[in-house]
Amino acid sequence: MNTKVSMPSAHAITAGDAASIGSVPSLDRAAAVIDPASLEILRMQLEGIADRMQDALVRSAISSIAREGMDCAAAIFLPDGRVIAQARSLPLLLGSMIPAVAGILNAFPLQCMRDGDALLMNDPWSGGTHLPDMVMIKPVMLDGAVVALTAAILHHQDIGGSTPGSLPPDATDVFVEGLRLPPVRWRQGGQIDPGLRAVLAANSRTPDNLLGDLDAQWAAISLGEREVQELARAQGGVFAPGCDALIQQAERMTRAALAALPDGVFTRADRLDARGTPPGKLPIHAAGNSLGNAPGDASSHAPGHTPGNTPGHTPGVTLHVTLTKTGDRLHIDFTGSSPQAAAPINAPPAAILAALFFFMRTLAPDAPSNQGCLMAADWVLPQGSIVNPRFPAAVNARTATVKLACNTLLAAWAKADPARASAPNSGVAVVMAVGGKDAAGRPYFFTEIIAGGAGAGPAGAGASGISTDVGNGKNLPVEMLESQAPLRLETYRRRRGSGGAGRHAGGDGVVRTYLLLEGEATVSYRGERHDAGAPGAQGGAAGAPSRAQVVRRDGSIEPLASKTRFIWRAGDRLTIETAGGGGWGAP
């Protein structure tokens, strides 16, 4: 099965059965001449609309992961699928919306769209990332023609699958992760498709949240539609060429940043944690299933399981990147990365594009955040690899691979531009999806995002307890968390000394301890940097690794692997200590 990197206005080539190659060429037509002041005003107007869409999305959301954790994003696209403006939100989602919109346009060309339509998808093989992230777009019509598209993406609390929260850490294919939705028409003329609504509700443990969050996406893209329509009407014939000019401006600024640095070939490799139970410990059981052991831990195998055949088990996965900089262009090649895994850490091309978009944005931070940032680059994602898996690979933990891709890209580029380069960060934030029942049998669900430390750089120490690079989410406020679930947050503090030492120290991680007060819950735990901490840079020391453990009510202690599932019972304490960032410079 061949998989193409689907990009709007792009050449997408499949090189036999080996790799997918993506690029975004320069515009075929020159934008009309527009004075710099008017261009900047247009940029601010578009970005302001995107930010107001984001505000509407967050304020209207039902689920805590979106309302409090900010795991959602909004953007504006041109009719051909090029992104023209993005909200200040979550880069992990902003970049991945580009291929998602392209996938929707492949299924529903502009001539199929009508006023009041909304199109929806989450399929990783149609431009999506993982199943909880659903993308909704709406055409902006003016005088009967589509002049733009408004889009919103939101991480839904539960979309089905084998575990509450739709993030099973032991998944080996996408079928156990939840409902996979190719591009569909969610609304026609403003009215929801009742059959599709029933299907979605029937496949979620939290149907009210799911439908309410879909309404929040509709509210956001409808607000954007009205404001973009007004802007396009006011701009008249200048709107379309002005948008082209903004994309060209971003391309010029990115190319200029590249041209200012020496040509060369820069490589870097890094690894994800091995998937298994900590050495010397019996596997933690969830609903009767053993979750496996660490590589080489022959003494603690569950009956009938070994590291080689444990569902969801993988050894450490390597990500390898080669950057070839020539003049004002950059070639990015992930050849040499590990094959796709029988675990949910596979990252579809749309997910990796989020890392690529973020990385290209760092080259010219003042450039408009639009499609032009990608036009100076092309990339190779080997098919069947961890960065371009074949169907039906499991993908729910793709963020770990995307975050590692960011760290690897930045570490490789540090060889070209050491004056601006920081040390690697703590990696993917800990994500904990929890579903259970209280003593009265009432169900509850929540998802926590717990950040670690940023890497230090030449300008100073790394920040502590902060989402880094493509992450920009927030943890849940204590008051909200304790009102939503029968637990008490006993500890929340900075993990002092966990940042790597150096001339500038890496940022510290955090410590959170939770006590479950009643009932029991299923926890899907997903972390990173358990095997080794974030490396230092320029002689700086590595940060401390992450660790987590459950102290059972009887006093027994069960360390957690970086990706696992377990049953949490009343009286058990769960402690999570996130990793520190790498230090910079010799101490």
Nearby residues of 217 by Cβ (< 8 Å), 6 or more positions away: 57, 134, 136, 152, 153, 154
Strand, helix or coil at 338? coil
pLDDT at residue 22 is higher than 70? no
Percent of the chain with pLDDT over 70: 87
Q: Which of 23-32, 309-318, 463-472 has the highest mean pLDDT?
A: 463-472
Lowest mean pLDDT among 126-135, 206-215, 418-427: 418-427
Integer CA distances (angstroms), 230 to 148, 181, 223, 235, 347, in order: 12, 32, 11, 9, 38
561-566: average pLDDT: 92
Structural domain boundaries in the chain: 24-251, 422-587
Higher pLDDT, 470 or 154: 154
Angstrom distance (rounded) from CA 547 to CA 562: 8
pTM score > 0.95 for this model? no
What band does 19 get if pLDDT is binned at 50, 70 and 90?
Answer: low
Q: Considering only residues 23 and 365, tell me which one the structure prediction assigns the higher pLDDT.
A: 365
Residue 506 near residue 540 (C-beta atoms within 8 A):
yes
Cis before 392? omega within 30: yes
CA dist 122 and 199 (Å) reads 14
Helices (H), 35-191: 36-60, 64-67, 91-94, 97-107
Closest Cα partner for 316 from 358, 371, 285, 274?
274
Beta-ladder partners of 149: 77, 139
Instruction: Tell me the CA distances in angstroms from 429 to 13, 295, 321, 541, one per residue in order.
Output: 34, 24, 22, 21
User: What strands, in cross-sheet order, belong to the sheet with 430-437?
Assistant: 443-450, 430-437, 520-526, 563-569
Q: Is the pLDDT of residue 71 over 70?
A: yes
Alpha carbons 546 and 430: distance in angstroms, whole number = 9
Q: How far is CA 510 from CA 11, 428, 429, 447, 491, in A?
A: 44, 14, 11, 17, 10
